[in-house]
């Protein structure tokens, strides 16, 4: 009986240690906060609350079992220069990773690709100084500015992603155009302005970009 009592006490002690370990592990698991840093495509221009990229992506991540809080830091009309101007005060201590979606307004204004590249590089440098992993979202210029402009602009994103070792989502609107004519995609999945996706269009983008965000979470130290 004495031996049994001793083993019982040891068993009880091990059980207590196990519970304490589980409690500590649970306490140490924190929701990671990711800044969705971009322009109107991130902000959710023209869409009701809940229909934009950030809220739809938040739901997708939760369904995928990711303990992530996305913070919508999209500003409608923002250029890469505007993003660079606000990046330092955007990256507060709570931010553990960054999604960068900028450049569309640079294209609309016909800004030189050299300026866009310099601004985006400044944003990536700010993240690198803080040790933050980044998902860079690519843009592609139309052909109406000429072949040289398109070639120079389109090269910005893969070049910078390789240089700064970031994740790259190649083209933001690619899931909408995938396997569809431009006219069909425009009619079914874009708002009347022909620039911003509607709710259904965002719904096509989210499950494609979602796994990239999961990879981003995996890079958080």
Lookup: tokens for 50: 């809940």
C-alpha–C-alpha distance, residues 70 and 59, integer Å: 10
Q: Which runs of E-coded beta strand occur in the chain?
A: 32-38, 68-74, 95-101, 134-137, 167-169
Q: 3 is written with which tokens? A: 């031996």
CB contact burial 152-183 (16+ within 10 A = b; e otherwise): bbbebbeebbeebebbbbebbbebbeeeeeee
**Closest by CA position to 73, among listed 35, 104, 119, 120:** 35
C-alpha–C-alpha distance, residues 200 and 184, integer Å: 13
Q: Active-site residue numbers?
A: 40, 193, 196
């Amino acid at each position: 009986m004495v031996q049994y009592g001793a083993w019982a006490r040891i068993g009880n002690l091990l059980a207590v240690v196990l519970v304490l370990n589980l409690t500590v592990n649970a306490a140490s698991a924190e929701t990671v906060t990711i800044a969705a840093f971009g322009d109107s495509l991130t902000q959710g221009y023209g869409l009701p609350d809940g229909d934009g990229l950030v809220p739809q992506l938040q739901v997708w991540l939760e369904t995928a079992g990711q303990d992530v809080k996305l913070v919508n830091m999209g500003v409608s009309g923002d250029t890469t220069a505007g993003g660079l101007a606000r990046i330092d005060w955007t990256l507060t201590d709570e931010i553990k990773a960054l999604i960068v979606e900028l450049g569309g307004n640079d294209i609309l204004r016909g800004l030189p690709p050299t300026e866009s590249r310099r601004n985006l590089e400044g944003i990536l440098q700010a993240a690198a100084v803080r040790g933050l992993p980044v998902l860079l979202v690519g843009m592609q210029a139309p052909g109406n500015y000429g072949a040289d402009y398109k070639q120079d602009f389109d090269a910005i994103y893969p070049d910078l992603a390789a240089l700064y070792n970031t994740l790259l989502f190649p083209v933001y609107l690619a899931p909408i155009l995938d396997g569809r004519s431009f006219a069909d995609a425009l009619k079914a999945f874009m708002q009347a302005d022909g620039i911003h996706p509607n709710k259904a269009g965002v719904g096509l983008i989210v499950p494609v970009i979602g796994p990239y965000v999961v990879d981003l979470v995996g890079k958080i130290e």
